[in-house]
Amino acid sequence: MPTDRRADRPNVIIIGGGFGGLAAARALRGVDANVAVLDRANHHLFQPLLYQVATASLSPASISQPIRAVLRDPGDAIVTLAEVTGIDLAEARVEVEDGAIPFDYLVLAAGVGQTYFGNGGWAEHAPGLKSIADATEIRRRMLLAFESAEHEGDPDAQRALLTFAIVGGGPTGVELAGAIKEIAGRTLPREYKNIDTATARVILIQGGSRLLESFPEKLSRRAAADLGRLGVEVRLESTVTDVSADGVRVGEEFIAANNVFWAAGVRAAPIAETLGVPLDGSGRVIVEPDLHIAGHERVFVVGDLASFTPAGADHALPGVAQVAMQMGQHAGRAIRAELESSGPLPERGTFRYRDKGSMAIIGRNRAVASIGGLQVAGFPAWLLWAGVHIAFLVGFRNRVRVLFNWACSWLLNSHDARLIVGDARMRVRLPKGPGFVAKNRADPDTP
């Protein structure tokens, strides 16, 4: 729990060190209050590039930064590594594993997790992509698939090893599908002797009628066309009905795939359920126009966890980094104004989101971007995407690392972060090649 506190100052607690939480903390820099950031991880994660860790383009350190390093200057918030277990609004306190922390103001920026729409058992066979642990697990499975296929003597089993099914046609699914097809087709072919990695089958499964549904339809069509040129199979209006260790069932069709990755939906962090306030269908907290919870003027919810529908809009703002940063800044400024007021509390303004555009990368020299009325695709969009992501990375060293890695990858078609971390046992049904002793085909799981 925070220890560097003065009893005569109000307590401002920020839960979450993501985009929204850090933006709120920065807006409160130097304020006369005890400001603390609580997170169960010690690092801020740049989630837009998480798929590049999963596909061996970047190391985890390149897209993360210790929260303490970000908030190290005088006047910054105290950083506390803590698992928040609940929030008691009536008593105005945050419950953690070893006690409770009282608050005068609270900014809840705990984010969201993966949802499998009531099929939690699918998570074991189809990992999502929300954390560094998720990314390294996907990377492990992807790389092990090629290693296993190299020594698989059963053609059907080899085909299943070289089949990758990605569920979900949003930016994460599109970027993941394109990156896997590129590493299979450009980076790996020279390194394997018994298989042609370029024949790897990548299938992108989308329940809706088009990819990137939040983008203009023209760019959705362009993204699907670019993926098709890469060799990705795009399946629209397709519903996943089952996932197992052996593959995925789409409608009545079973696709043998040893690698299924999930990018099809999110669910609010469980902490939202402890508030006892109205939630939307995804478990996000419904907030007022200034982002506070109805009936609790000093409790703000920002980022992916907040359900906020601007006036005149048909749906709530999306869970993207720029929304979280603007919300966090708005909440931090509102709290600061009230703490620094010597008279009546200033009137809070309505949160107004300024849409700075949407981008998604499909592959080498391929991307789509929508910025205001401008719609860009191809190499110009790819350059724009790269520039924006470099600019918003936290930490100068990370910017240099990522820029250098991208330059090497572009010039040499290299993916140098190909580390298998964790269980490195191959899944081979009928072994072949040096170092293997044939075993009973009916007992494929024998180590």
State which amino acid sits at residue 196.
Answer: D
| The 3-state secondary structure of the chain, one letter per residue | CCCCCCCCCCEEEEECCCHHHHHHHHHCCCCCCEEEEEECCCEEECHHHHHHHHCCCCCHHHHEEEHHHHCCCCCCCEEEECCEEEEECCCCEEEECCEEEECCEEEECCCEEECCCCCHHHHHCCCCCCCHHHHHHHHHHHHHHHHHHHCECCHHHHHHHCEEEEECCCHHHHHHHHHHHHHHHHHCHHHCCCCCHHHCEEEEECCCCCCCCCCCHHHHHHHHHHHHHHCCEEECCCCEEEEECCEEEECCEEEECCEEEECCCEEECHHHHHCCCCECCCCCEECCCCCEECCEEEEEECHHHEECCCCCCCCCCCCCHHHHHHHHHHHHHHHHHHHCCCCCCCCCCCCCCCCCCEEEEEECCEEEEEECCEEEECHHHHHHHHHHHHHHCCCHHHHHHHHHHHHHHHHHCCCCCCCCCCCCCCCCCCECCCCCCCCCCCCCCCC
- Residues tagged active-site: 175
Which residues are registered as beta bridge partners of 79?
Answer: 37
Distance of alpha carbon 95 from alpha carbon 201, whole angstroms: 47
pLDDT tens, residue order, the chain (447 aa): 444 556 679 999 999 999 999 999 999 999 999 999 999 999 999 999 999 999 999 999 999 999 999 999 999 999 999 999 999 999 999 999 889 999 999 999 999 999 999 999 999 999 999 999 999 999 999 999 999 999 999 999 999 999 999 999 999 999 999 999 999 999 999 999 999 999 999 999 999 999 999 899 999 999 999 999 999 999 999 999 999 999 999 999 999 999 999 999 889 999 999 999 999 998 999 999 999 999 999 999 999 999 999 988 888 999 999 999 999 999 999 999 999 998 888 889 999 999 988 999 998 899 999 988 899 999 999 999 999 999 888 888 888 889 888 888 887 777 778 899 989 999 898 888 766 655 544 454 544
What is the phi/psi pair of residue 105, to 5°?
A: -130, 145
Q: Strand pairing of 201-205 and 163-167? A: parallel
Distance of alpha carbon 447 from alpha carbon 428, whole angstroms: 9
**Whole-number pLDDT of residue 411:** 77
Distance of alpha carbon 118 from alpha carbon 316, whole angstroms: 22
What is the phi/psi pair of residue 123, to 5°?
A: -60, -35
Cα of 261 vs its chain's centroid, Å:
13
Which residues are registered as beta bridge partners of 299?
Answer: 106
Closest CA to 432 of 149, 145, 144: 149
**Whole-number pLDDT of residue 436:** 66
- Cα dihedral 363, 365, 369, 373, rounded to 10, equals -150
What is the phi/psi pair of residue 22, to 5°?
A: -65, -40
Rg (CA), the chain: 23
**Whole-number pLDDT of residue 2:** 45
Distance of alpha carbon 369 from alpha carbon 416, whole angstroms: 27
